[in-house]
Chains A and B, each alone.
Chain A
């Protein structure tokens, strides 16, 4: 048991539904308590397209089932098939409450009269309570690809790749795919399928046409691409496509795997560096003092902290004082990659402890998920919500990957580093009385730095050189 102030990941069912809702022609029946049906609302609020989420609830009800109201799994499954004749795959996902109830689930779809081919039912026997969103999403994607493979299509006559990117709700997810596709197109490689976001159920059966898999978002696509590599010998490119160096590396690897002329790939890269990619340009324009001794703490999933960490450390020249992930199951890989640019790699899934780590690192800039906003605020340093989960739902999404993404990153950095660029790094330390320090120790960790800052500001406004217990209490 953990006492937390927030969670980075949702439960396994949420991960499964995120992947399923990203793929066209897939409908999910979610077995859950009547009070757990929030995906539709979240989908509406986040996507803001006006489309209804392809998810139906099968509510678990207490007591004997006498009525014809929804709640009977078999009946609810046939109702989904009837109501969604275009669905090619029907998924049965279970919430943690449903898993804890231990009820058995059907493994075949009930027969439903109607035109067209009946959909396929996909269930996940590995679901268990306590499993996290990302891990479940990864496994679900692999299972869906298994389910979609009915025959083995021929390899395409011209070079093609599959893009494995983030699912819906990822920050700027659609823009990441678009940027990757644009760049691949420029080096002469066609995209066979975007998985999961933008794919449809039929695409899942045609993945083997591609010559290679480009893994933009490892958190979700790892198992699926490994399966395709082992089973069909499809090579994969796993470098995060973040920053100009990362993007160049991906394009060169793809070029090699697709047997393209390396010189032509390099020419495209140079052309992009000259026209689109502004991060290297920004790094050269700014005087070194802008970045010198500026410390950054990064926290998030896997791809974004690693990719951003590398780009900020190597391409920009900032000091990555701490870099962490909440994905505990990827700990080894994360540490391995993070060590290439920071000594401060850590793995932690308690927002309070993350806050303590970041506070202790005394950064000048915090890059993180929406849960880190409070820490940055309490430290009084700028904050960039660039790692999922984020709470922003902009109408126009901007990529962070690829060359266009590197320019977005340059703009973002330019704004926050310029705003705070000329300030002295730290105020002259103010003295605290022992009683005031004792009071401050009672403040929850999360809020301590903010409380300290407010107290010092209050003391200064009163013209006091010391923070006393009274001043501290007044300032809260």
Chain B
């Protein structure tokens, strides 16, 4: 494995595009995007175009744009009161997320102050999400907003030490918004016999955390809950003593937020692919105090995939990079016998992904901050069998005769667990079969 830094302009879908999808995923949240006309237009226009290379169109009523007038920035507190007014129109709002980036800051919006005001007036949790916040490692991924939102959700998890959880506290103290699942958290930590496990991720497709929870449960570990899970009311307690298993490779901020609260974030492979799932289950279980071996399970999973593996053996795959999921996908596909030509990484946090990078095969090149024009040239030269491409390059590459698939398709299919490994290979095989069928036509 070689890591090169191209210092180019990567082709990445703007992280803000995810606002509509997130609103769908968090049905009890009201999302307010504060900024200029530009932010509102971006959020609205990208998903409005039905296209195979863009996320599906789901406009959500719970997304509101606070379009600021640059000539007349609002007074402090006005944004908060307007948010409070509009929140009244929505039933069942349990969380307010204020997405405020560089433009809002430049126009003098104190997002922290406004959210504190909103939280106080509505008596609801409210958090700021800053899509333009500087990160430790430079670069952007199209999934950064999910990361930021999950980091905010981690901060909303009830903060309890394990020792507190085990003790029975007075019911009055446990009342309020989080009372219900706190008790549940206590019970699971009892039944598991070890430290409570919380899964972090799966924000892009629902139900994925359940798949992994089932795998962990087979290994004898009960999962207390997941973030984002199915809503703010279901957030598990997360704090000192909690074991956090990170499902997605893009969740650097969310993992850091969990660490800051004293939780133990397990440094292991992402639960993508056979070996990834096996290592994930094994390492998370071990951290939670339950020794287990996934070797037999992994071996039989690999055997089950035999036919599919034969179909992709030797196929050459190029990842242009966009979501951050490319690295675990490439690792799995290389293990399954495909030849990974290049993996683009618009941002690469080497420390966070250390295990993944170590597990990448020796022949894989990772290009950090790749330049989309350079990538296009390299793709033209190497003529891969499949390009897992970012949305901006998808059409130009298809027009040049390359077979393209969006990394999002793999996420939509549910890439986690042993079942996910099969779905990843099936998707790839289906793509190639269809292309072969179309190529064989005499037009």
A280 at the B interface (CB under 8 A): no
Q: List the B residue with the shortest CB-CB distance to A48.
A: B395
Query: How long is the Cα–Cα vector from A153 to B79 in the complex, in angstroms?
Result: 55
Q: List the B residue with the shortest CB-CB distance to A439.
A: B91
Stretch at the interface among B36-44, B215-223, B236-244, B268-276: B36-44
A-facing residues in B63-101 (Cβ within 8 Å): 63-74, 78-79, 82-83, 86, 88-91, 101
Given A1-B82, A41-B13, A45-B395, decide whether A393 and B50 contact each other with a Cβ distance below 8 A: yes
8 Å CB contact of A14 from B41, B53, B57, B399: B41
B250 at the A interface (CB under 8 A): no
9 A-B pairs within 8 Å (CB atoms) are namely: A3-B32, A3-B66, A6-B44, A44-B392, A45-B391, A51-B399, A59-B9, A370-B48, A391-B50
Contacts of B65 in A (CB 8 A): 3-7
Contacts of B7 in A (CB 8 A): 67-70
B159 at the A interface (CB under 8 A): no
Contacts of A6 in B (CB 8 A): 40, 44, 59, 65
B107 at the A interface (CB under 8 A): yes
Contacts of B40 in A (CB 8 A): 4, 6-7
Contacts of A83 in B (CB 8 A): 373
A-facing residues in B3-54 (Cβ within 8 Å): 7-9, 11-17, 32, 36-38, 40-42, 44-46, 48-51, 53-54
A51 to B396, Cβ gap below 8 A?
Answer: yes
Q: List the A residue with the shortest CB-CB distance to B63.
A: A5
Contacts of B66 in A (CB 8 A): 1-3
Given A1-B67, A33-B102, A391-B49, decide whether A95 and B12 contact each other with a Cβ distance below 8 A: no
Interface string of A1-17 (1 = CB under 8 A from B): 11111110111011000
Query: How long is the Cα–Cα vector from A10 to B65 in the complex, in angstroms?
Result: 13
Interface string of A223-245 (1 = CB under 8 A from B): 00000000000000000000000
8 Å CB contact of A11 from B13, B36, B82, B102: B36
A444 at the B interface (CB under 8 A): yes
Interface centre among B15, B36, B91 (most CB of A within 10 A): B36
B102 to A97, Cβ gap below 8 A?
Answer: yes
A217 at the B interface (CB under 8 A): no
Interface string of B395-435 (1 = CB under 8 A from A): 11011100000000000000000000000000000000000
Query: How long is the Cα–Cα vector from A56 to B372 in the complex, in angstroms?
Result: 11
A125 at the B interface (CB under 8 A): no
A116 at the B interface (CB under 8 A): no
Contacts of B86 in A (CB 8 A): 3
Query: How long is the Cα–Cα vector from A67 to B14 in the complex, in angstroms?
Result: 23
8 Å CB contact of B79 from A1, A36, A442: A1
Query: How long is the Cα–Cα vector from A13 to B79 in the complex, in angstroms?
Result: 26
A45 to B49, Cβ gap below 8 A?
Answer: yes
Given A44-B53, A51-B399, decide whether A96 and B103 contact each other with a Cβ distance below 8 A: yes
A42 at the B interface (CB under 8 A): yes
B37 to A11, Cβ gap below 8 A?
Answer: yes
B333 at the A interface (CB under 8 A): no
A38 at the B interface (CB under 8 A): yes
Query: How long is the Cα–Cα vector from A79 to B198 in the complex, in angstroms?
Result: 48
B-facing residues in A54-71 (Cβ within 8 Å): 56-57, 59, 61-62, 67-70
B106 to A100, Cβ gap below 8 A?
Answer: yes
A9 to B14, Cβ gap below 8 A?
Answer: no
Contacts of A69 in B (CB 8 A): 7-8, 369
B89 to A444, Cβ gap below 8 A?
Answer: yes
B48 to A446, Cβ gap below 8 A?
Answer: no
A42 to B67, Cβ gap below 8 A?
Answer: no
Query: How long is the Cα–Cα vector from A59 to B371 in the complex, in angstroms?
Result: 13
B-facing residues in A188-228 (Cβ within 8 Å): none
Query: How long is the Cα–Cα vector from A7 to B38 in the complex, in angstroms?
Result: 10
The count of A-to-B residue pairs whose CB atoms sit within 8 angstroms is 182
* Min C-beta distance of A433 to chain B, whole Å: 19
10 closest Cβ pairs, A-B complex: A50-B399, A45-B51, A69-B7, A129-B70, A44-B395, A10-B41, A11-B38, A100-B106, A130-B70, A41-B392
Contacts of B14 in A (CB 8 A): 35-38
Given A41-B46, A41-B391, A49-B399, decide whether A97 and B11 contact each other with a Cβ distance below 8 A: no
Given A100-B106, A130-B36, decide whether A10 and B45 contact each other with a Cβ distance below 8 A: yes
Contacts of B72 in A (CB 8 A): 1
A4 to B67, Cβ gap below 8 A?
Answer: yes
A100 to B107, Cβ gap below 8 A?
Answer: yes
Contacts of A259 in B (CB 8 A): none
Given A40-B392, A44-B391, A69-B7, decide whether A96 and B46 contact each other with a Cβ distance below 8 A: no
A101 at the B interface (CB under 8 A): yes
Contacts of A361 in B (CB 8 A): none
B91 to A1, Cβ gap below 8 A?
Answer: no
A37 to B12, Cβ gap below 8 A?
Answer: yes
Contacts of A40 in B (CB 8 A): 11, 392
* Min C-beta distance of B34 to chain A, whole Å: 9
A271 at the B interface (CB under 8 A): no
Contacts of B8 in A (CB 8 A): 69-70
8 Å CB contact of B9 from A68, A70, A370: A70
Given A1-B79, A443-B89, decide whether A38 and B17 contact each other with a Cβ distance below 8 A: yes
Given A7-B65, A69-B7, A100-B107, decide whether A129 and B36 contact each other with a Cβ distance below 8 A: yes
A132 at the B interface (CB under 8 A): yes
* Min C-beta distance of A276 to chain B, whole Å: 31
B42 to A50, Cβ gap below 8 A?
Answer: no
8 Å CB contact of A442 from B68, B89, B102: B89
* Min C-beta distance of A31 to chain B, whole Å: 13
Q: List the A residue with the shortest CB-CB distance to B34.
A: A1
Interface centre among B42, B72, B79 (most CB of A within 10 A): B42
A62 to B134, Cβ gap below 8 A?
Answer: yes
A268 at the B interface (CB under 8 A): no
* Min C-beta distance of A243 to chain B, whole Å: 28
B259 at the A interface (CB under 8 A): no
Q: List the B residue with the shortest CB-CB distance to A76.
A: B9
8 Å CB contact of B64 from A3, A48, A100: A3
A128 to B70, Cβ gap below 8 A?
Answer: yes
Interface string of B369-406 (1 = CB under 8 A from A): 10001000000000000000001101110111000000
A35 to B44, Cβ gap below 8 A?
Answer: no
* Min C-beta distance of A446 to chain B, whole Å: 7
* Min C-beta distance of B235 to chain A, whole Å: 25
B140 at the A interface (CB under 8 A): yes
A34 at the B interface (CB under 8 A): yes
Query: How long is the Cα–Cα vector from A48 to B49 in the complex, in angstroms?
Result: 11
Query: How long is the Cα–Cα vector from A48 to B394 in the complex, in angstroms?
Result: 10
